[in-house]
Chains A and B, each alone.
Chain A
Amino acid sequence: MTTSSEPYVLNIGPQHPSTHGVFRLRVAMDGETIVDMDMIVGYLHRSMEKLAEERTYTQNIPFTDRADYLAAMSGNLGLCLAVERLAGVEVPERADYLRVIFAELQRIASHAMANGTLVSDAGAWQTPLLYMFREREKILDLFEMTCGARLTTNYMRIGGVAFEPPPEFWPALRELVDELPDRIDEYAELLTDNEIFLARTRGVGVISAEDAINGSLTGPALRGSGVPWDLRKAEPYAVYDRLDFEIPVGRRGDVYDRFMVRLEETKQSTRLIRQAMAEIPEGPHKTQIPLALRPEPGEVYGRVESPRGELGYYLVSDGSPAPYRFHIRAPSLINLSLLRALAIGSPLPDAVVTLGSIDIVVGEIDR
């Protein structure tokens, strides 16, 4: 007897435990296998890019907090770097070091979140997530100490950073940096050898180096596929060229490699913070810029290596205090574009884990 079956449509999201926000997958499934998939974005669209055209450059910084809300510092930094290049603003050296420290802290926090949710997507009942949240909490405490906010930091300014960290910041940071390697080893111990985790992530969602480049992937998704590309090395901004660090690169391009690349990157970030702490000079933490900064007419594309990849800001100035065009190149959106190709033909659980390993932030996708 033969049985015939036809695909059925499963709506994953916009409210679903593993879509990490309001993101919707309309999946056509044959049993447990995905035969087709539509990715529907836009549920969190807040029209940031248009709103930004009505505000001054400094007033636009809070938008960058809310784009990638898990890596607000990196978003701040990207915009500030772009505007500084557009307007030719010099940044004091101390501010550059502070920027590196905060951007790297943010990277650790963001990767902790990414890896934690990935393991939760693989089915662990939130234990690794909560362990990783422990360090994330401490980092967010440091942010709160410095700028009063934990998530939407709004800390970087054009020409420096908003505040000098308070005196209690430095010992707390030292304590955190001293204990971080042990903590990271703790997660690694729990997960890297775990047979179930390996069975779920090894060989799943494989992106070859060619596909990763053709799909314009950036960040851990690209490095997991074996391409050594990191803007901190390739196009050093702030003071990354003076600091010593390495880029982790995966070997097979599967979910497990992306996980391991993130884990290793947190270690490298700890290294960066240590060096920046040791080398940070005295001096002012920002330069004075006019309240309404009027850059010369022109355009600029400034980019940073955010935890999710290349976060770019394309700004066009017409000489007025507000940008004529404000565009965000969101790494999440571009990394996500490869999901359909990865998911078709794979069972639903693999697609969920793959989505988790790409590490999207819907605020950034929809903007």
Chain B
Amino acid sequence: MTTAPASPPRRPEAPPALATPMARQIREAPTLRGMLTRAPAPVKVAGALAGLLFFAANAAIGYLVIDGRLDGHWYDFRDLGVAVGELRVWLDDRGLGPWLSYWVTALIGAVGILSFVGGVLLIGTWIERRLLAKFQIRRGPNRVGPFGLLQPLADAIKLVQKEVLIPRGADRILFYLPPVLVFIPAMLAWGPVPWAPTMSYLDINVGLVYVIAISSLSVLAIFIAGWSSNNHYALLGAMRTVAMMISYEIPVSISLLSVALFTGSLKLSAIVGWQSDHTMWLGLIMPFALFTFFFSSTAEINRTPNDIAEAESEIVAGFHTEYSGMKAGLFLAVELGNALLIGALAATFFLGGYTFFGLEQWIPPYLILAVKISAVYFLFVWLRGTLPRFRLDQLMGYAWKFLIPLSIAFMGVSAVEASILARVDLPGLLLIVLVVNAALTVVFVRLWARVVGYEAPRDEVTMPALTTSVGGLRAAQRLRGGAS
């Protein structure tokens, strides 16, 4: 390309940046990277030392515990369950009686978990908004507090201040209930998640069933919300949610059943223990179950690509269209909390839980779990930033025609393999199972796609024809004839 003859010569320097105060403020807003690189040297050194010290202390305790000189005392802060257990014994010795000491320690544990979840909810909002902003070449919240970290808090304060409107014709009592009802299972479901060997609030022997049962409770609250709002959008959203949750709970349950078959336990800590004993993640052994769990979970918790229950472009906000103020805020918080919960469950069931091939000896296991939760959560945000949404019938078809039959098939495979593993004691057998399952996944998926007559829509990509002649219907027919 030659320069236009009429155009003046190129301008020598880049245009000056916008000089308005707002523009400068935005440009010079502190970023995490800038903060880290531009921090004064003493701060950097002190930060690095603190981090090193933390890991050194962990490593020292890990070394001593493995060495057997210290055997899991309260100062073993890698597992806070130990400290709480010791506190209970100590209280018991002081004459509080087993019941009272149990209640005290239970309260501490519950407050610990709930405050963690609450704190993560606040930070999670910020993380999600910042990450989405990065995906979308925006900046995201960076005004309130350092890097905008206090933005969720500011939003919460704003939401609390807002008036809670009740639409005319709404069922008042039922309209008030759902934000609370939906919050309870979201909190309860965190109970059996093991954060460290003894750091689990509710390590019951039917943990897996408990999780499935609790997570299906929220559908009731959502349906009440949609029904009581006296709004067609809310009703549509509720109907979609119910239809979807019922469909997608089946593949989730079946995929978790495979996990139970393999590990021979419904106890979450035992499932993690099995994975750490065999130094193998269940997600690697049964990739299809992991996929089913993850994909179905996106449907259950209304996240892209399956967020049809609150499809903004179709039914505004779905079941919580009519909610305002902190009631809407609670729905949003629960949505986020459920995403984190799915992260925790996926990590526990399929990704080794709080263990990471021996690393849990050296750094606190709950940190490992937190990292795994963040990884799964990042995947959720990534999907949300990338994919369009399915249609309801497509999503239902996918569940019933694809996920459920294949899940059942893989459950059969898992059962056979589990019984082989139980009878045959062969080193490396697990690796063989892994390879076999990977191959079976490919074969089954391909075969089943052929059975249900699915064709990759890649062939459907057609580029528009290019033409330089114009015309009407006859030209169109000519073009079509030429194209086919």
Asked if A261 lies at the interface with its beta carbon under 8 angstroms from chain B, I say yes
From known contacts A121-B313, A252-B462, infer whether A246 and B468 are also in contact, taking CB-CB under 8 Å. Answer: yes
Residues from chain A with Cβ under 8 Å of B312 in the complex: 17-18
Q: A229-B471, A260-B463 in contact; A278/B11 too (CB < 8 A)?
A: no
Interface size on B, residues (CB 8 A): 64
Residues of chain A within 8 A (CB-CB) of B479 are 226, 228, 249
Q: Which of B308, B393, B460 contacts A202 (CB under 8 A)?
A: B460
Number of A-B contacts defined by CB within 8 Å: 199
Q: Contacting B4 at CB < 8 Å: which of A192, A200, A256, A278? A: A278
Q: List, in ascending order, chain B residues with CB within 8 A of A264's CB.
A: 463-464, 466
Which residues of B are found within 8 Å of A261, using beta-carbon distances?
Answer: 464
- Whether B6 pairs with A94 at a CB distance below 8 angstroms is yes
Whether A209 contacts B477 in the complex (CB less than 8 A), given A131-B137, A194-B388, A200-B388, comes out as: yes
Q: Are A247 and B10 in contact (CB under 8 A)?
A: no
Chain-A contact segment, one of B109-117, B174-182, B379-387? B379-387
Contact between A124 and B386, CB atoms less than 8 A apart: yes
Q: Are A248 and B314 in contact (CB under 8 A)?
A: no
Interface size of A by Cβ–Cβ distance < 8 Å?
78
**A248-B389 contact in complex given A131-B136, A171-B11, A226-B476, C-beta closer than 8 Å:** no
Residue B42, interface by CB 8 Å: no
0 or 1 for each of B1-19: is its CB under 8 Å from A? (1 = yes)? 1111111101100010000
Q: Does A67 contact B (CB under 8 A)?
A: no
Answer whether A246 and B458 are a contact pair too, CB < 8 Å, given A125-B304, A174-B3. Answer: no
Distance (whole angstroms) from the CB of B244 to the closest CB of chain A:
12
Contact of A228 among B313, B461, B469 (CB under 8 A): B469
CB within 8 Å for A171 and B10 given contacts A126-B136, A352-B313: yes
In the complex the two chains form, what is the Cα distance from A209 to B384 in whole Å? Answer: 36
The residue that A248 contacts in the complex, of B311, B384, B466, with Cβ under 8 A, is B466
Interface hub of B392, B476, B483 (most chain A Cβ within 10 A): B476
- Would you mind naming 25 contact pairs between A and B with Cβ atoms under 8 Å apart? A11-B232, A16-B316, A18-B314, A123-B388, A125-B132, A171-B11, A193-B458, A193-B461, A194-B387, A195-B458, A197-B388, A199-B394, A209-B480, A226-B480, A228-B470, A246-B466, A247-B470, A249-B465, A251-B483, A257-B464, A260-B464, A280-B4, A281-B6, A347-B392, A348-B236
Residues of B at under 8 Å CB distance from A? 1-8, 10-11, 15, 132, 135-138, 232-233, 236, 239, 304-305, 307-308, 311-316, 384-394, 456-458, 460-473, 475-477, 479-480, 483
Please report A residues at the B interface, Cβ cutoff 8 Å.
8-11, 16-18, 31-32, 94, 119-127, 130-131, 134, 167-168, 170-172, 174, 190, 192-200, 202, 209-210, 213, 223-230, 233-234, 245-252, 256-257, 260-261, 264, 274, 277-282, 347-350, 352, 356
